């Protein structure tokens, strides 16, 4: 299984601390293994940022699910299109959706 496939499987498991760090680690490996690391670098930092928000604090299920509901779909679409070898422009637009979802979730 490739790291991109592992990332896709991990996204299905949802947002919780251990999984966010696992996904960040996968993104780092992916970034190091490609001539186009930017999308993986961005995703890694978003996962780490969310993890830092939730580290060592009580995390209500409702809050975690609200963030998931905003972010999982654009992330899954980005990962799917990266797997399919999408164009730079398409990846950029999808990354913008991910970043927007993150900014809305943690404004």
Partner 1 sequence: MVTSSILELGLNTESAEKIREIANEVGAFLQGDFTLSSGRKSGHYFDGKKVTLSPEGAYWVGKAIFDELKEIDVDAIGGLAIGADPIVSAVALVSHLEGKPIPSFIVRDERKEHGTKRKIEGHLQEGYRVVIVDDVITTGGSVIKAIEAAEEAGCEVVKVIVIVDRHEGGSDKLKDKGYDFTSILHLWPSGEVTVVESSAVAGEIKARLLPR
Q: Which of 47-55, 69-77, 82-90, 96-104 is the region at the interface with partner 1 (rule: CB under 8 A)?
A: 47-55
Q: Which of 55-63, 75-83, 85-93, 99-107 is the region at the interface with partner 1 (rule: CB under 8 A)?
A: 55-63
85 binds partner 1 (CB under 8 A): no
**Residue 34 vs residues 4, 20, 25, 29, 70: alpha-carbon distances, Å:** 12, 21, 15, 9, 28
Alpha-carbon gap, residue 87 to 92, rounded angstroms: 9
33 binds partner 1 (CB under 8 A): no
CB count within 10 Å of CB 19 equals 16
Summarize as ranges the residues that interact with partner 1 (CB under 8 A).
Answer: 13-14, 16-19, 21, 24-25, 28, 48, 51-52, 55-62, 64
């Amino acid at each position: 299984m490739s790291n991109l496939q592992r990332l896709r499987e991990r996204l299905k498991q949802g947002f919780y601390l251990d999984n966010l760090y696992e996904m960040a680690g996968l993104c780092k490996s992916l970034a190091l293994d490609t001539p186009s690391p930017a999308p993986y670098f961005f995703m890694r930092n978003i996962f780490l940022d969310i993890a830092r928000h939730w580290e060592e604090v009580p995390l209500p299920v409702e809050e975690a699910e609200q963030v998931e509901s905003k972010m999982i779909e654009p992330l899954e679409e980005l990962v799917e299109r990266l797997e399919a070898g999408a164009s730079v422009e398409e990846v950029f637009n999808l990354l913008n959706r991910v970043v927007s979802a993150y900014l809305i979730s943690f404004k």
